């Protein structure tokens, strides 16, 4: 039996909504099949007031073993470092986070806000929000760069806005069943199993990407969304087109450009007008190129691909 | 007017000396947006759109890159067509305009 505690800081509850929709395994499977005991969760917990405080204090003291501490949302430090803008169970949430993280065998940050600070931490960051161990791409965050949980791991970051439900439950199962040490993390402490490939990996528009045919308006079923509509699929690490959403689809499959929500810089360009759903260019060349591709190579590839493009690539091949 | 006839008409307009705004090129996202808005305001005015977009019958060399329709992201190779919604006109591969992008 592994005890799990889930708290929310500066959060919209989107990751909770996602988690509750998990299918493989489901949130119920965690309890019935994988021996996870959910001590408390904002949408599931029964305890209130003094009872909840008692439970939290028990986790901090070690009286209640805390195997997995899941945090969703930013750690709010404002105003002036007090954390008073996000009070919970009688004190600033940041104080609970500091103590519970020290007590837990594993700490898991769910969603962009808990991992990198997300939208709340975007400049000018009025609430002085941060992620657990990162502020955007800068290492440190609330717990500090050197933080290690009792199991010897740094915070396990599962980013996304929201994170896919199965990324969450699969990692929780791995940790709860004693395979935490098998989780290989990348430089940003994301599980490599999910975040080594790109959002583009498995995208149904890859043929159009290869032949440089662009979607120019929403609703077009042909064309790649990268060239004009701001899709970040080629430079975003996520398995969104491998582990499908609702088992059916993904943003790009549905015609929605990837917003790059698993990367620390999300939301890109601070959401300045004209930067969302529009590929930013400098002298006609995309400002952000597919990862590992330089400008010269990109131009050469595009010229060759355009010249080689077959006629069908310019047509809608998804005929009803 | 069919596509070939329209392509011929555009060619004749440009060859006949239609003064288009070749420069400055739309080098920044802001410049692109401004130009796109202006093109939308022109609606069905073909000549006005050709002028604003800075069409030329030959590629323009800019910042070390030859900006020809045939390498532009909006160009449909087989149809010889510019698919940018605000232009949406037949073109030739060696033509150019200042909204070129790759």
Q: Specify the CATH number for the domain of residue A7.
A: 3.40.50.700
Q: Are residues A74 and A217 in the same domain?
A: no
| DSSP code string of A82-148 | --TTSEETTEEHHHHHHHHHHH-SEEEEEHHHHHT-TTTTSTT-TT-EE-SSEETTEE-TTT-TT--
Q: Are residues A94 and A209 in the same domain?
A: no
Q: Over 90: is that where the pLDDT of A41 sits? A: yes
Which among A281, A302, A306 is the nearest to B29, CB-wise?
A: A281
Q: Are residues A144 and A236 in the same domain?
A: no
Q: How confident is the model at residue A319 (pLDDT cuts 50, 70, 90)?
A: confident
Q: How confident is the model at residue A193 (pLDDT cuts 50, 70, 90)?
A: very high
Tell me which chain A residue has its CA closest to the CA of residue B88: A216
Q: Over 90: is that where the pLDDT of A112 sits? A: yes
**A230/chain B closest Cα distance in angstroms:** 12
How far does chain A reach from its first CA to its final CA, in angstroms? 50
pLDDT digits (tens, 9 = 90+) for A251-276: 999 999 999 999 999 999 888 888 99
ipTM for this model: 0.88
Q: In chain A, what percentage of residues exceed pLDDT 90? A: 91
pLDDT confidence of residue A221? 85
Q: Nearest to residue A30, comparing CAs of A187, A217, A172, A243? A: A172
Q: Over 90: is that where the pLDDT of A157 sits? A: yes
Residues 6+ apart with CB under 8 A from A166: A22, A23, A24, A243
Question: Rounded to the nearest 5°, which phi and psi values hold at A179?
Answer: -105, 20
Q: Are residues A286 and A202 in the same domain?
A: yes
pLDDT digits (tens, 9 = 90+) for B2-22: 999 999 999 999 999 999 999
Q: Are residues A252 and A149 in the same domain?
A: no
Judged by DSSP in three states, A2 sits in: strand
Q: Over 90: is that where the pLDDT of A224 sits? A: yes
* Contact status, residue B29 vs residue A274, Cβ threshold 8 Å: yes
**Residues of A with Cβ-Cβ distance to B32 under 8 angstroms:** 281
Alpha-carbon span A202 to A217, nearest angstrom: 22
* A281 near B CB under 8 A: yes
pLDDT confidence of residue A273? 86
- Domain residue limits at A150: 2-193
Question: Rounded to the nearest 5°, which phi and psi values hold at B65?
Answer: -120, 130
**B70/chain A closest Cα distance in angstroms:** 7
Alpha-carbon span A73 to A80, nearest angstrom: 19
**Number of domains comprising chain A:** 2
Domain extent listing, chain B: 3-90
Judged by DSSP in three states, A293 sits in: coil
* Mean pLDDT for the stretch of residues A179-189: 95
pLDDT digits (tens, 9 = 90+) for B69-85: 999 999 999 999 999 99
Alpha-carbon span A239 to A220, nearest angstrom: 23
pLDDT confidence of residue A315? 86
Lowest-pLDDT choice from A25-29, A44-48, A189-193, A219-223: A219-223
Q: Over 80: is that where the pLDDT of B48 sits? A: yes
Q: Are residues A21 and A170 in the same domain?
A: yes
Which among A216, A306, A309 is the nearest to B83, CB-wise?
A: A216
pLDDT confidence of residue A222? 86
pLDDT confidence of residue A303? 92
Strand A68-72 and strand A285-286: the pairing is unpaired
* Contact status, residue B53 vs residue B10, Cβ threshold 8 Å: no
Tell me which chain B residue has its CA closest to the CA of residue A315: B76
**Residues of A with Cβ-Cβ distance to B75 under 8 angstroms:** 306
**Residues of A with Cβ-Cβ distance to B78 under 8 angstroms:** 309, 311, 314
| CB pair distance less than 8 Å for B76 and A282 | no
pLDDT confidence of residue A274? 85
* Mean pLDDT for the stretch of residues A291-307: 93
Q: Are residues A142 and A6 in the same domain?
A: yes
């Amino acid at each position: 039996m592994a005890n799990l505690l889930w708290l929310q800081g500066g959060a919209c509850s989107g990751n909770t909504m996602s988690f509750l929709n998990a299918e493989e395994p489901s949130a119920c499977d965690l309890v019935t099949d994988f021996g996870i005991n959910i001590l408390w969760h904002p949408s599931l917990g029964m305890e209130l007031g003094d009872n909840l405080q008692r439970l939290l204090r028990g986790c901090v003291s070690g009286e209640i073993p805390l195997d997995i501490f899941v945090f969703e949302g930013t750690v709010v430090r404002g105003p002036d470092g007090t954390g008073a803008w996000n009070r919970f169970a009688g004190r600033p949430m940041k104080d609970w986070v500091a103590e519970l993280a020290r007590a837990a065998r594993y700490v898991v940050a769910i969603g962009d806000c808990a991992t990198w600070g997300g939208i709340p931490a975007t400049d000018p960051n009025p609430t002085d929000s941060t992620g657990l161990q990162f502020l955007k791409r800068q290492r440190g965050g609330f717990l500090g760069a050197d933080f290690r949980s009792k199991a010897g791991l740094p915070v396990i970051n599962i980013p996304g806005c929201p994170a896919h439900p199965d990324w969450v439950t699969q990692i929780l199962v791995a940790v709860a069943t004693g395979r935490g040490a098998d989780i290989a993390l990348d430089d940003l402490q994301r599980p490599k199993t999910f975040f080594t490939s790109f959002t583009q990996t498995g995208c149904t528009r890859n043929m159009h990407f290869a032949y440089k045919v662009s979607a120019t308006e929403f609703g077009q079923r042909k064309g790649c969304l990268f060239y004009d509509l701001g899709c970040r699929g080629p430079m975003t690490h996520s398995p969104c087109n491998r582990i499908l959403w609702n088992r059916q689809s993904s943003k790009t499959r549905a015609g929605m450009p990837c917003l790059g929500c698993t990367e620390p810089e999300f939301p890109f360009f601070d959401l300045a007008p004209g930067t969302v759903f529009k590929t930013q260019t400098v002298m006609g060349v995309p400002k952000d190129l597919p990862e590992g591709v330089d400008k010269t190579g990109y131009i050469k590839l595009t010229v060759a691909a355009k010249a080689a493009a077959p006629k069908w690539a310019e047509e809608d091949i998804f005929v009803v | 007017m069919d596509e070939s006839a329209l392509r011929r008409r555009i060619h004749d307009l440009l060859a006949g000396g239609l003064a288009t705004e070749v420069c400055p090129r739309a080098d920044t996202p802001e410049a692109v947006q401004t130009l796109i808005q202006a093109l939308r305001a022109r609606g069905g005015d073909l000549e006005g759109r050709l002028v604003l977009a800075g069409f030329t019958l030959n590629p323009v060399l800019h910042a070390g890159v030859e900006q020809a329709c045939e390498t532009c992201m909006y160009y449909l190779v087989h149809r010889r067509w510019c698919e940018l919604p605000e232009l949406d006109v037949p073109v030739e591969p060696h033509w150019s305009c200042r909204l070129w992008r790759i």
